Structures are given as structure tokens and as C-alpha cells.
């Protein structure tokens, strides 16, 4: 796969522009760009990239209805970290003001992880250009096309979870 001289826009093979190789290249490039942005955010906050990945998991858990608040054990399993590495990560995130640990009211042995509102505002401001870029990209597609994209991304996330297991 070649790139044009105008930047990162790939020139897809004329004989198979929506084939597996094209998808693989485009998904890898998008993932690499997301990772670069996340790494820059981590550095701006004095964090590790792993810490940002943990923050994303905590944020996503806060917005999911079925799983409830994130716990250190669930986060450790999701991130495939040792308990010591998870503790160090959570210590950094708590010390930097990004998360707080809260004991469950019904079972004091259970700890829930919550994204601090101040930190959420910092992240929202930092990632605002990405949100604008996403909105600009979406503007070029019809609702029907976006529904297909959403369906594809949901299925891709499902398949990635199956591979990880």
C-alpha cells in the first residue's frame, strides 16, 4: 500500500479497495494515530500510556449500564496487568487527580474506581480537536452510511474481544 505525497491518505489497490489488506492497513494507521494522541496526552499529564488506557477503561465503565463501576480487579483483568502493576498505575492516577477510589457502601471490601470530574474536563479540553475532527469526518456521510460504520466498529470490537480471549 502506498501513501500519496499529500499526507497519510492511502492509495488503495484499484482491484480491491475494500479488501482485507486495505482494511488492515487503514485500521493499523488509525490505531497508530490514536496511540500517538494518547501518548502525547499521557506525557502532558505526567502519566504512562498504560495509565491513559486505564483511564479510558474507567471512563467507559462509568458510561456502561450493565457492568457497574470499574473495580481494580476487573481493570487488571481487562488490561492484562499483574496486581502490582495495576496498583502502581492506580496510585499514579489517584496521585495525579485523575481517579478516586471509593469503597462500595454495601460491601466495604469492594473498591470502585471513578474518573474525577476535574480530570474529565482536562481530557475533554485536550481531546477537543479530535472531537472536532471526528465530527468533520462524520459530516461527509449520510445517516445510513454512519449506521453501517457504527455496525462495523461494533462488530470489529466484538471480534477483537474474541481474539483477546
| Residue 3 clears pLDDT 80, i.e. is over it | no
Question: What pLDDT, on the 0 to 100 scale, is given for residue 10?
Answer: 57
Are residue 62 and residue 40 in the same domain, yes or no? Answer: no
pTM of the model: 0.78
Nearest Cα residue to 90 out of 58, 43, 118: 58
Split into its structural domains, the chain has a count of 3
Domain containing 87 equals: 46-116
- 17-61 pLDDT tens trace: 678 888 888 999 999 999 999 999 999 999 999 999 999 999 888
Are residue 83 and residue 36 in the same domain, yes or no? Answer: no
Are residue 36 and residue 65 in the same domain, yes or no? Answer: no
Asked if residue 148 lies in contact with residue 141, where contact means CB atoms within 8 angstroms, the answer is no
- 65-77 pLDDT tens trace: 567 889 999 999 9
Read off the pLDDT band of 159 (50, 70, 90): very high
* Mean pLDDT of all residues in 135-141: 96
Are residue 13 and residue 30 in the same domain, yes or no? Answer: yes
Amino acid at each position: 500500500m502506498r501513501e500519496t505525497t499529500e499526507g497519510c491518505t492511502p492509495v488503495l489497490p484499484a482491484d480491491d479497495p475494500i479488501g482485507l489488506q486495505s482494511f488492515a492497513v487503514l485500521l493499523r494507521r488509525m490505531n497508530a494515530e490514536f496511540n500517538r494522541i494518547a501518548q502525547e496526552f499521557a506525557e502532558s499529564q505526567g502519566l504512562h500510556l498504560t495509565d491513559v488506557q486505564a483511564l479510558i477503561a474507567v471512563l467507559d465503565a462509568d458510561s456502561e449500564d450493565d457492568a457497574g463501576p470499574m473495580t481494580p480487579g476487573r481493570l487488571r483483568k481487562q488490561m492484562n496487568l499483574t496486581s502490582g502493576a495495576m496498583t502502581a498505575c492506580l496510585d499514579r492516577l489517584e496521585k495525579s487527580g485523575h481517579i478516586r477510589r471509593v469503597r462500595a457502601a454495601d460491601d466495604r471490601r469492594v473498591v470502585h474506581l471513578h474518573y474525577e470530574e476535574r480530570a474529565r474536563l482536562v481530557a475533554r479540553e485536550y481531546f477537543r480537536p479530535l472531537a472536532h475532527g471526528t465530527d468533520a469526518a462524520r459530516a461527509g456521510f449520510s445517516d445510513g452510511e454512519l449506521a453501517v460504520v457504527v455496525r462495523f466498529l461494533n462488530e470489529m470490537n466484538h471480534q477483537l474481544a474474541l481474539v483477546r480471549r
